[in-house]
Structure 1
Amino acid sequence: MSMFAEERQRLVADRVAEVGRVSVTELAERFSVTTETVRRDLAALESAGVLRRVHGGAVPAERSATAEASLLERQIQNLLEKRAIADAAADLIESSRAGSVLLDAGSSTEALAERLMGAPLDGAPLVVVTNALPIADKLAADANLNVQLLGGRIRPLTRAAVGPATVDAVERLRPDLAFVGANGLHAQFGLSTPDVEEAAVKAAFVRCARRVVALVDHTKFGVEALVQFARLDQLDAIVTDRAPEGDVADALADAGVDVLEAGKQ
């Protein structure tokens, strides 16, 4: 998929989420493409679970607490926001002089991994530990990084190592920083994800690190997925594209969590 198609599909997904229903004709006019191109975009987004095609257009896909996005869907959604979050997270690594980081499996942490590639070497190589095959594969080519891949059973949906072996390996670590993603960040329920095994690994990340940072875009605020893996008071900071409001903002403040808004540090 070309970058242009990826950007256009992200904007189509945002438009569907914003207005609830879109027509093929409207999208063709908005993006100055043919209706055939729009239909291909809608087919790709439907396959990724982002939306559901209906006669003449599309509507948002229905989601539940156990629904889980594919890698393609997560990479398409909120692409620019995730890149901004990744830039801010990379700055946090540099400013804290962290020597070791844990990167959870997810699209936001994968964006951070891409940001770390090619960074100039300043002292000893940064140690990056991850349970995500895509992240390890990206970073392994960079000689300036010491990349360590955690073992375990690989979940096909997220290509992440999970299970008791993964959790045991994490429990023996004490990294400077852990970066975790989440499907939901709720004032009372904390951070959550749909899968029990992924939640167990994320919870181990939270327990073992000296400092825990959640990478969450604004669409995760107020959302509860099936399994909680961290209370808000277990976090040190969140990096987001838009500052939370209302109950979520109050709960983060009460828990003493620093809110770092990308581009405004």
Structure 2
Amino acid sequence: MVDLKELWKYKDLLYFLTLRGIKARYAQSVLGVSWAIIQPLFTTIVFTIVFGGLAKVDSDGMPYLLFSYLALWPWNYFSGTLTESANSLIQNANMITKVYFPRMVLPLSSVLSKLLDFIISFVVVIGMLIYFKQMPGWGIMVLPILTLQLLMCSLGVGMVLSAMAVKYRDVKHALTFVVQILLYAAPVVYSTSAIPEAYLDWYILNPMVGVIEGYRAAFLDRPMPWEWIWPGSLVSIVLFVFGMFYFRKMERTFADVA
């Protein structure tokens, strides 16, 4: 079983590792935390030119720049946490083999350290809403639920990948292009309404579908797509619980193979 009391006991270590992850990401960087804005913003501009301008992808009547950024914002957090979580145990192999602490602290610190980028990127959302004269509706009250779903999904998958990466080093190499493929399995450059109805029941099981469409609905004052949110919420809970138990099961072997 997962010992939550033990995790709480090591909260100072979690804080230190989270802070270290943030500092390491921006150490000796000229632009510093500005990269948290520059990277998604320029990716959004490219998507707007290619998919919104050349391919004429339907954005459900929304400005494509805002349409794609509201999707890239949570997606970049999800993809970033997968990469950092998968490498968290390998990068801290010396700690694992020399001292005891709850190993779950490592992927958890990766998920928490990426929250800074997520919060900073929100500045661009505010700027775009002002520029396009969009006013969020009451759906913005649902954002904590959507963010919790995003965190649970990220941490659940991250724990599975981090545990697998210790034993199978192929995970680290495969994750780079898997994340790129998953980008197009989520409604980042297109709308969920473009998915054929015959495949929609399976498609909405992807937790990121409900998160992305929920964020769009919240900030653009549109009806909250609960029929797309609740299936992904259930899958996020399953992934989170499975990830914790799988990580706990594999934890006893980390020191032997790290």
Q: TM-score, structure 1 length as denominator? A: 0.27
Taking CA–CA contacts closer than 8 Å with sequence separation of 6 or more, which of the two structures ends up with the larger relative contact order? 2
Q: Give the structure with the larger helix fraction.
A: 2
Q: TM-score, structure 2 length as denominator? A: 0.28
Q: Give the structure with the larger strand fraction.
A: 1
